[in-house]
Amino acid sequence: MRRGISVGLAVILVGLTLSIAASIPTTRTYDAINISFILNPGEIYGPYDNGTYYHTMIFGKSVLKGEVAVEGSGIYMTARGYNVQDFSDVYVQGQHSFTIAPAHDQYTFTFDNTEGTIKSLVKFTLREVWTASFSPFGKLLGFLLASFGSLVLMLTYFRFKRTE
């Protein structure tokens, strides 16, 4: 009887520990775009030029964090995609950071120097930060182990009760 109770409790403990550990959210950062280019006066770069479009990952909740650094004439930047309502024709001179939260699906970016009179060096960086639980399979395995341990405890109890 003691052996059955010990095994059942140990399996339940391992299952619950695994389920709790698998529920801890992890945050990862992915450098999606890191590009520099020169924008001549009267020129538009994007929306589907190299480094101006990105499709988010689907592993969990994500946030896009971007940074634009401009040397020379100021430029206008436009982002298109989900949840970017007030991100059209934003004037950037120097450095500008932005966040799109929550992020989902495809995004395109356009850089416009049509009103500038001199060249602009543009450095554009986009990072996707997403949060997901450690492992959905770990949660399932932990639940199954806890269920199996409970079954062992019940069988041990009924077996002992019958022999009394």
- DSSP letter string, 45-78: E-SSSTTSEEE--SSSEEEEEEEEEEEEEEEEEE
Does residue 117 share a domain with residue 89?
A: yes
d(CA 65, CA 151): 48
Does residue 50 share a domain with residue 115?
A: yes
Domain count, the chain: 2
Q: Residue 57: count other Cβ atoms within 10 Å of its Cβ.
A: 14
Does residue 140 share a domain with residue 89?
A: no
pLDDT at 18: 67
Does residue 76 share a domain with residue 144?
A: no
Does residue 43 share a domain with residue 10?
A: no
pLDDT at 76: 92
Does residue 142 share a domain with residue 67?
A: no
Does residue 107 share a domain with residue 37?
A: yes
**Domain ranges, residue 13:** 2-23+136-163
Does residue 61 share a domain with residue 114?
A: yes
Does residue 147 share a domain with residue 69?
A: no
What's the CATH number where 118 sits? Answer: 2.60.120.680
Does residue 94 share a domain with residue 13?
A: no
Does residue 53 share a domain with residue 73?
A: yes
Q: How large is the C-alpha radius of gyration of the chain?
A: 27
pLDDT at 34: 92
Does residue 88 share a domain with residue 120?
A: yes
Instruction: Cis check for the bond before 47: say yes or no (omega within 30 of 0).
Output: yes
Cβ atoms of 41 and 111 within 8 Å: the answer is: no
Point out the residues of the chain with pLDDT beneath 70: 1-2, 18, 23, 58-60, 133-136, 160-164
Give the tens place of pLDDT for each residue, 62-104: 889 999 999 988 899 999 888 887 788 889 989 999 988 888 8
Threshold 0.85, pTM exceeds:
no
pLDDT at 133: 63
